[in-house]
Chain A
Amino acid sequence: MTAQRPSRLRYLTNGIIKENPVLILMIGLCPVLATSTSARDALGMSAAASFVLIFSNVVVSLVRKFVQPSIRIPIFIIIISTFVTIIDYVLQAYQPALYRMLGVFVPLIVVNCIILGRAEAFAYGHGVFDSFLDGLGNALGFTLALVILGSLREFFAVGTIFGKTLTPAWYRSAPMLFTIFPPGAFFIIGILKALAVRLKLGK
């Protein structure tokens, strides 16, 4: 693994396109499809998940020397759910509208496979700073995919992005409503995946 030590910047950039958790690895799709009905919700969900992802990566890396392999999963879950509960309280207290909108998907961050996946596959075997970079990179990749998906769905179904009207009135009177429904989410994420693979192969 350390034979040709990749530069540390790679840890950061890997998660954005090349190993984008959503578009390339196709993990954590459940919250992605459910919370991307508008750009604003998508950004809120990304922010919450990113917070948990970065901090759990750092903490898992900090304690990795004390954690025996046989009990690593319970310990990871305790760490992750602690951060999820913190973000849950904070959203309730300071962003109640967003909290109600995201609903059950905030507590469900606990079982988000991107977060447990990075803890298990990366942070458990790497240093604190590298784990931070990896968490940040994956958080950016997750945010990128989610916000693009949310913006496109909102744009086609409602005619706005982040609540800003971007289409003429005739479009908004008869928009492509289906993009806000689950099939529309699959449809658009399929196109985004194709673009991401194209981008990855092109490099």
Chain B
Amino acid sequence: MNSKAWMTISLLVTCLVAAFALSEVYAVTKPKIEQQKIDATNSALGQVLATAQSFKEVEKESLWYGLDQSGAKTGIVVRSGLRGYGGPVPVLVGLDLAGRIVGIKVASPAEGLKETPGLGLKAMDERFWKQFLGADSTVALKKDGGTVDAISGATITSRAVARGVAQAIRKYSEHLKP
């Protein structure tokens, strides 16, 4: 057989085998992958809005209504991601119907936080984010005229979280305030 034909055939066969193997693996793992994504989102949402039984996505990956068993609204979860030092700082903020902050979760590095270990990463510490519970839309760092203590050495990260929280509260007023 001439070499050109042989080249074509061997490449073709390689691609066919590879495509077949991949489609098999894809079919097996696809439901599992989708389930993992849903689980991860739901568990994060549940952490910031404990009163909700289920969540309804209103704006893609940025706004959810929390629903109780009967389907009534119990609150709202907003995801904001303002720019910190290394990239966006994803923050999930849970608000009840009165607009009080009932839960806050700063993403972990595995969920996309790119702040400096030992400095900006401390935004995940409870000591820092607890300061935001009960805050209103004027929330800001002490440096910016507010009441929140910034993480030492990580003003930019702290500011991204504070502004993200303020943004979430404004979103609440657009969506749930009567």
Contacts and interface: CB of A to CB of B under 8 A. Distances in A.
Interface of A: 37, 63, 66-68, 70-71, 74-75, 78-79, 81-82, 85-86, 89-90, 92-94, 96-97, 100-101, 157-158, 175, 177, 180
22 contacts: A68-B6, A70-B7, A71-B7, A71-B10, A75-B14, A78-B15, A81-B18, A82-B18, A82-B22, A85-B22, A86-B22, A89-B25, A89-B26, A89-B33, A92-B29, A93-B32, A97-B110, A100-B110, A100-B111, A101-B110, A158-B118, A180-B118
Interface residues of B, number: 25
Interface of A is mostly: helix
A89 B29 contact: yes
Contacts, number: 64
A192 B22 CA distance: 38
B72 interface: no
B134 interface: no
A109 B24 CA distance: 21
Contact of A86 (B21, B30, B117): B21
A92 to B, nearest CB: 5
A68 B18 contact: no
Given A75-B11, A79-B14, A177 B33 contact: no
A199 B90 CA distance: 46
Binding site secondary structure of chain B:
helix
A66 B33 contact: no
A177 B115 CA distance: 13
B71 interface: no
B7 A92 contact: no
Interface-central residue, B3, B6, B14, by most chain A CB under 10 Å: B14
A158 B36 CA distance: 29
A66 B25 contact: no
Given A66-B10, A68-B7, A70-B7, 20 more contacts: A68-B6, A68-B10, A71-B7, A71-B10, A75-B14, A78-B14, A79-B14, A81-B18, A82-B21, A85-B25, A86-B21, A89-B26, A89-B30, A90-B25, A96-B36, A96-B40, A100-B110, A157-B117, A157-B118, A158-B118
Contacts of A157: 117-118
Interface in B54-103: none
